[in-house]
Every structure is written in structure tokens, then in C-alpha cells.
Amino acid sequence: MRNHNIHLLMVSAVLLVISLSCSILWPAVQPKSATYENCTPATNVIQPASPAAMGYPLTVTDDLDRQVTIHHLPQRIVSLAPSNTEILFALGLDDRIVGVTDYCDYPTTASTKAKVAGFSTPNMEKLVSLQPDLIVGTAIHEKTVLPALEKLGYTVYIATGQSIDAIENDISVLGKITGSTARAEDVLSRMNAKIKSVTDRTKNLTDAQKPRVLYVYWYDPLWSMGAACFINDVIEQAGGINVFENDFEKAKSVSLESVLSKNPQVVIVSGMGTSGDAVFKAIKSERRLSPTEAWSNNRIYKISDAALIERPGPRIANGLIELAVTIHPELFGVK
């Protein structure tokens, strides 16, 4: 654990340097009292565009290729996913967010909002009582929740964030929907500066220079990520090769035998919720993984905050930096 703590300190130092050099004022992992608003200079306050200037009604396409018509500037917004909540707060919409999920914990102000949903199923009675004029959901709501909300006549935008580009598109579209276009552009500019700080270092790596990376977020059984998801995109941009990118899409349980056959050179552990330490310790102590290069070379790492890399929102740029520094410390001056 001592080596792991030293690693986290070095990663934090690199994150700080990159943030300062990019003139990005929100830290990689914000203190619990921080919000997106107080990370923006007072001299650079961006006011939402007027409804008239936005030209309502307007129609946008969400991540399910649905045409969504916004009839007026949304004033009462409900978020059904922590990632969406982070996007909405980043857009400066604190005063218009009326409902979130039990798992929306960033920024800390989110915890003061009414709770209308758990992991996947909203409390419809409570949601209706909030009288939302915009609901922002995600892919998990496609089959049952979305049809129910549409039947009730609600305006619903689905943000799935399957890649970094898709995450940025959701930020842009939600900025347009909510009259916060300028704020969205500011958020994207900050994100792209961080992303560029990584890709400028990794874009010319040959395949031979890219280590095979196993991403683990659960243990017993092991769960990993394949293609067609933003985590695969992050691993690629960080200069690694996802060992399961050609085997399946999105999340799936994998056997120890399949992991051994892939022989990962780096293992990244996130862990859902507060389970990160338990998953990390289990992987570190799993002697059946000893034949892998990652295990024998002590290259098993835990992400400092799983939300940085598992939520498709603005902080994904911070997760990318942490992953890149972990995979390629030599590119960032870390020994």
C-alpha cells in the first residue's frame, strides 16, 4: 500500500501541474466544499442567453437518435444519473436543478437536491410532484423508464456518453437546450486543454509502446470493459491497449483464464461506489494472476476516485490524465 500511496501522490502532482499550465481552475479531485461555480474566476461570469436569442422551440437529437423538442427555456430540471448531474452543474444550472438520484454526490451541492431515483428506477410519484420541464436520463432508462416518461408527456433527453466525443457532444447539446451555450463552450475548452495535454504525449506511440491494459471494476467474478464505451476510449487516448477491446462491447464478467490468456501489462482498478479498496486488495492478493506481467512487475493500480473515469461527464478529462500518468509515467516526468 505504501507504493500505491506514493503513486497517488505523484499522479496528484502531475495533475496539478497540468491544470495550472492549462489555466484550468478546477482541481483534479475537488475538495468536498468545492463547486463548479467557485472554480470560475469572478471576472469571467457567463450569463445564459435569453430565451428569445435561443429561438425556442428548438429540436435536438439525443444519444438514442431521438428528436427531442424543447418548447421553452427549461426551469425545472431532473437528472437521472450522476454524470448528467455533473454536466448540469458544470453548466451553472444549480438553481434550475430540482431533482437528482441517490448517487449524485458531486459537486456537494447536488446532495441538497430532492432525491427522485436510485440506480435505475425513479420514484415516479416524487418525480411528478417536482413538475419538471426537462428530464435528463441515460441508456439504462431506454427500455422501461423512458417510455413511461414519454407516456406522461415529459420532455426527456438521453445522454449515453459512449466516447469522449459523445460526452462533449452531450455537454454542448445540454448547453444549447438550457440556454447555456457560452458556459458549455467554456467547459469544453477547459476539458480539451487537459485532453490535449495527454494526447500530445501519446499520439505518436507505436503499438509496441502501448501496454496491454486490463480495466477491473468488480471482483468475484471479475468484471471488465470492452469496446463501444468511453472507458475503452480513455484507455486508448491514455496510450494503452484495452485487452478486451476485440472480445466484447461495454461491460462483461470475465474469467481468470481469459485474463491470463491476455497477459495484461497494467491493471487499472476502479471499483463501483466505495468498493475500490476491496477490489484493489483482492486483485493484488490474487496469486492466480501471478503469471501476468502486471502482477509480476507490480503494475496494479487503483484510480484515486472511480467517478473520475466511470462517469461520462466533465471530469473524464481528469480521469484521462490520471490514467495516462499511471500507464506512461515516463511521458510525464514521473519515475
- Residue 48 DSSP one-character state: P
- Residue 50 DSSP one-character state: P
Nearest-angstrom CA–CA distance, 294 and 198: 22
- Given a contact cutoff of 8 angstroms between Cβ atoms, the answer to whether 331 and 297 are in contact is no
- Given a contact cutoff of 8 angstroms between Cβ atoms, the answer to whether 192 and 18 are in contact is no
Sequence-separated (6 or more) residues with CB below 8 Å from residue 292: 259, 260, 263, 264, 265, 267
The pLDDT of residue 277: 86
- Given a contact cutoff of 8 angstroms between Cβ atoms, the answer to whether 308 and 12 are in contact is no
The pLDDT of residue 55: 86
Tens of pLDDT, residues 57-80? 999 999 999 999 999 999 999 999
DSSP class per residue in 254-284: E-HHHHHHH--SEEEE--STT-HHHHHHHHH
pTM as predicted: 0.86
- Count of alpha carbons within 13 angstroms of residue 304, beta-carbon side: 24
Report the pLDDT averaged over residues 277-298. 94
205-313: CATH class: alpha beta
Report the pLDDT averaged over residues 323-335. 94
Least confident of 226-235, 256-265, 268-277: 268-277
Sequence-separated (6 or more) residues with CB below 8 Å from residue 284: 300
Nearest-angstrom CA–CA distance, 22 and 18: 6
- Residue 152 DSSP one-character state: T
47-188: CATH class: alpha beta
Give CA angle at 119 (117, 125), nearest 5°: 20
Tens of pLDDT, residues 111-142? 999 999 998 899 999 999 999 999 999 999 99
Tens of pLDDT, residues 137-154? 999 999 999 999 999 999
Count of all residues that appear for the chain in the document: 335
H-helix segments, the chain: 2-21, 51-54, 82-90, 124-129, 145-151, 164-177, 181-202, 230-237, 256-262, 276-284, 293-296, 307-310, 316-327
- Residue 290 DSSP one-character state: T
Instruction: Tell me which long-range contacts 293-300 makes (C-beta under 8 A, separation of at least 24).
Output: 293/212, 293/263, 293/264, 293/265, 294/214, 294/264, 294/265, 294/266, 294/267, 295/267, 297/265, 298/3, 299/211, 299/265, 299/266, 299/267, 300/266, 300/267, 300/269
| Closest by CA position to 136, among listed 169, 109, 103, 160 | 160
- Given a contact cutoff of 8 angstroms between Cβ atoms, the answer to whether 6 and 309 are in contact is no
* Mean of per-residue pLDDT scores for the chain: 88
Report the pLDDT averaged over residues 47-62. 76
Bond from prior residue into 82 cis (ω within 30 degrees of 0): no
Where in the chain is CATH 3.40.50.1980?
Answer: 47-188, 205-313
Q: Which amino acid is at 303?
A: I
The pLDDT of residue 25: 34
For the chain, how far is it from start to end, CA to CA, in angstroms?
18
The kind and range of the H/E element at 241 are: strand 241-242
Instruction: For the chain, state the CA radius of gyration.
Output: 20
- Count of alpha carbons within 13 angstroms of residue 9, beta-carbon side: 7
